[in-house]
């Protein structure tokens, strides 16, 4: 696959009938939030099965919580970057013809101003009871002793995220597949595209006729499928790409 320059990237108004973006940890890298895989990735220092599994929580909930609180701290100190901002701009231009699906639990898309991202893996700042599933905002829980306990059933409270070996919310993932099937342009941004079911979304989009664009400095399993590949960082590529889309949209309306 040849690498693409924004100027020579060939898209038309027809590709903008429905645009779907799937983001991964790479979009938040330039905000200072470590990715999972690759250089500096968190899974180089920690084993997923020791920290992000139901088994880990069952055997050592305090350790799991400490790791999540540490990650929360890093995220709380970071801010959305130009890549997140560009996607908010895209939503303003395309309105309900743009759908944002993210694997990230950092909430940076919302903080940038995105109204309703599909958060496939949950949100690190939300909590739920591991026994009765009741959800709790932080200020209702006591974090002095970990894990916090459920006010209803005294069950253990856990981060409201999806762990390895757990299923995704049915409605959420069905929605994501439906939107991907309908996409005319699909942007795969900053994801290693190895964790399923999210990794299947770009493939489904491409099989259903979408133009598939990847933004990632490294090759992934979908690189060879992509119609265009941008290897600069998402904070560099997305503002230019969104500008180009805006120009096409404006022209098509005149
Ligand atoms: P990964 O850490 O697996 O992949 C991040 C990708 O971002 C890599 O392919 C990098 O090359 C790329 N990247 C790094 N910096 C970038 C930048 N500035 N601009 C663009 N791309 C950049 O993260 P995900 O694919 O999101 O799941 O991982 C998927 C899931 O696996 C996560 O949601 C999490 C994880 O373990 C759960 O916790 C369930």
Task: Decide if pLDDT at 2 tops 90.
Answer: no
Residues 73 and 85 in one domain: no
Cα(84)–Cα(21) distance, integer angstroms: 11
Confidence band for 1, pLDDT divided at 50, 70 and 90: very low
Helix axes 170-182, 200-207, angle to 10 degrees: 40
Task: Decide if pLDDT at 127 tops 50.
Answer: yes
Task: Report yes or no on 88 lying in a domain.
Answer: yes
Last residue of a domain, one of 107, 141, 161: 161
Task: Decide if pLDDT at 50 tops 90.
Answer: no
Last residue of a domain, one of 141, 161, 181: 161
Please tell me which residue in 109, 114, 121, 179 is annotated as part of the active site. Answer: 121
| Cα torsion 136, 138, 139, 143: sign | positive
pTM for the full predicted model? 0.95
Name residue 185's beta-bridge partners. 19, 211
Q: How many domains does the chain have?
A: 2
Residues 174 and 249 in one domain: yes
Residues 16 and 102 in one domain: yes
Task: Decide if pLDDT at 77 tops 70.
Answer: yes
Task: Determine the average pLDDT of the residues in 48-59.
Answer: 89
Task: Decide if pLDDT at 42 tops 80.
Answer: no
| Active site (annotated) includes residue 196 | no
227 C-alpha to ligand 1 centroid (Å): 21
Task: Decide if pLDDT at 84 tops 80.
Answer: yes
| Cα torsion 209, 235, 192, 161: sign | negative
The pLDDT score that the predictor gives to residue 3 is 61
DSSP 121: T
Residues 91 and 189 in one domain: yes
Residues 148 and 244 in one domain: no
Residues 157 and 111 in one domain: no
Residue-wise pLDDT for 172-192, tens only, equals 999 999 999 999 999 999 999
Measured from the Cα of 104, ligand 1's closest atom is: 33
CATH of the domain at 22: 3.40.50.1220
Task: Decide if pLDDT at 118 tops 60.
Answer: yes
Residues 67 and 179 in one domain: no
Residues 143 and 224 in one domain: no
Task: Report yes or no on 202 lying in a domain.
Answer: yes
Residue-wise pLDDT for 184-229, tens only, equals 999 999 999 999 999 999 999 999 999 999 999 999 999 999 999 9
Name residue 161's beta-bridge partners. 122
94 C-alpha to ligand 1 centroid (Å): 26
| Cα torsion 106, 110, 113, 114: sign | positive
Task: Report yes or no on 191 lying in a domain.
Answer: yes
Minimal-distance CA residue to ligand 1 atom 36 = 36
Residues 176 and 218 in one domain: yes
Residues 66 and 88 in one domain: no
Cα(10)–Cα(12) distance, integer angstroms: 7
Task: Report yes or no on 67 lying in a domain.
Answer: yes
The pLDDT score that the predictor gives to residue 8 is 84
Per DSSP bridges, beta strands 185-189 and 211-215 are parallel
Task: Report yes or no on 39 lying in a domain.
Answer: no
Task: Report yes or no on 41 lying in a domain.
Answer: no
Residue-wise pLDDT for 3-25, tens only, equals 678 888 889 999 999 999 999 99
Determine which of 8-12, 30-34, 229-233 has the lowest per-residue pLDDT on average: 8-12
Give the structural domain span for 196.
Answer: 2-32+80-121+169-253
Residue-wise pLDDT for 129-168, tens only, equals 999 999 999 999 999 999 999 999 999 999 999 999 999 9
Last residue of a domain, one of 139, 161, 183: 161
35 is in an annotated binding site: yes
Task: Report yes or no on 38 lying in a domain.
Answer: no
Residues 175 and 234 in one domain: yes
Task: Report yes or no on 43 lying in a domain.
Answer: no
Residues 52 and 71 in one domain: yes
Which residues' Cβ are closer than 6 Å to ligand 1? 24-26, 29-30, 35-38, 41, 52, 103, 121, 162, 190-192, 195, 215-218, 220, 233-234
User: Of all residues in the chain, what percent carry a pLDDT higher than 70?
Assistant: 98
The pLDDT score that the predictor gives to residue 120 is 98
Q: Which helix (H) or strand (E) holds 21?
A: strand 19-23
Cα(5)–Cα(73) distance, integer angstroms: 37
User: Of all residues in the chain, what percent carry a pLDDT higher than 90?
Assistant: 87
């Amino acid at each position: 696959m040849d690498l693409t320059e924004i100027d020579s990237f060939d898209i038309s108004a027809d590709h903008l009938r429905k645009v779907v973006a799937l983001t991964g940890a790479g979009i938040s890298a330039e905000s200072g939030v470590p990715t999972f895989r690759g250089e500096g990735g968190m899974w180089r220092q920690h084993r997923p099965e020791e920290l992000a599994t139901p088994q880990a929580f069952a055997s050592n909930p305090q350790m799991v919580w400490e790791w999540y609180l540490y990650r929360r701290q890093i995220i709380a100190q970071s801010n959305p970057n130009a890549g997140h901002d560009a996607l908010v701009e895209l939503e303003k231009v395309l309105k309900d013809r743009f759908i944002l699906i993210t694997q990230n639990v950092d909430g940076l898309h919302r903080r940038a101003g995105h109204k309703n991202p599909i958060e496939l893996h949950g949100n690190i700042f939300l909590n739920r009871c591991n026994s009765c599933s009741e959800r709790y905002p932080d200020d209702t829980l006591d974090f002095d002793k970990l894990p916090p306990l459920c006010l209803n059933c005294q069950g253990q409270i856990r981060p409201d995220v999806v762990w390895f070996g757990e299923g995704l919310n049915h409605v959420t993932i069905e929605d994501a597949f439906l939107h991907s099937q309908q996409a005319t342009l699909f942007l795969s941004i900053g994801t290693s595209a190895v964790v399923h079911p999210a990794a299947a979304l770009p493939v489904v989009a491409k099989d259903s006729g979408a133009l598939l664009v990847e933004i990632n400095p490294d090759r992934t399993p979908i690189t060879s499928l992509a119609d265009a590949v941008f290897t600069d960082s998402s904070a560099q590529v997305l503002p230019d790409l969104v500008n180009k889309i805006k120009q096409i949209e404006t022209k098509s309306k005149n």
